[in-house]
Amino acid sequence: LVPALFSVFPFDTQGQHRSGSPAWFSRPICRLTDGRLNLFFIPWYIRESQQHPDAPRLTFEQEAVLRFIETTANDPDHFLDMDFQPGDIQFLKNASILHKRTAYEDWDAPELKRHLLRLWLVQETFSAGDEGLQEGVKAPV
């Protein structure tokens, strides 16, 4: 399946595309940048791209790649489960590690409500993995 990891996959834009532009974009899940492996894996974006008739259809190998990554990443022998406490900070490089949030219970009382801040940082002096992703999603016009 390794060659399929480096093949081009269609990704749904989640409605964040310019008028007249396709509602999907193409990119591989894995690519080498400056000799390092970089990842971009959002499986539901890939699967949702299939709702667009003009998006390329996933091959058998690409579908197998999605199943393999999800099965492996969701295996407790292969993931780290973290229990965040108030004041905890986590730094992740999106191009280097797969990550997700599990379900949580929130409260109606303001003093008990979950408060999580997500901050996207870009450091121009080292490789962030992908120039296209550094540009971010352009606002629809």
Residue 29 has pLDDT above 90, yes or no: yes
Instruction: Please calculate the CA angle 104-44-129 and round it to the nearest 5 degrees.
Output: 95
What is the count of structural domains for the chain? 1
Q: Give the gyration radius of the chain's Cα atoms.
A: 17
60 in any annotated domain: yes
* Sign of the C-alpha dihedral computed for residues 128, 134, 73 and 106 taken in this order: positive
139 in any annotated domain: no
Reported as a pLDDT band with limits 50, 70 and 90, residue 43 is very high
pTM: 0.76
Residue 46's domain comprises 2-134
6 in any annotated domain: yes
Task: State the alpha helices, DSSP H only, in 33-130.
Answer: 43-49, 60-73
Strand partners, 25: 11
140 in any annotated domain: no
36 in any annotated domain: yes
The pLDDT value recorded for residue 141 is 47
Of 71, 58, 59, residue with least CA distance to 24 = 58
Reported as a pLDDT band with limits 50, 70 and 90, residue 17 is confident
pLDDT tens-place string over residues 108-136: 999 888 888 877 777 666 555 556 555 55
33 in any annotated domain: yes
53 in any annotated domain: yes
Reported as a pLDDT band with limits 50, 70 and 90, residue 67 is very high
89 in any annotated domain: yes
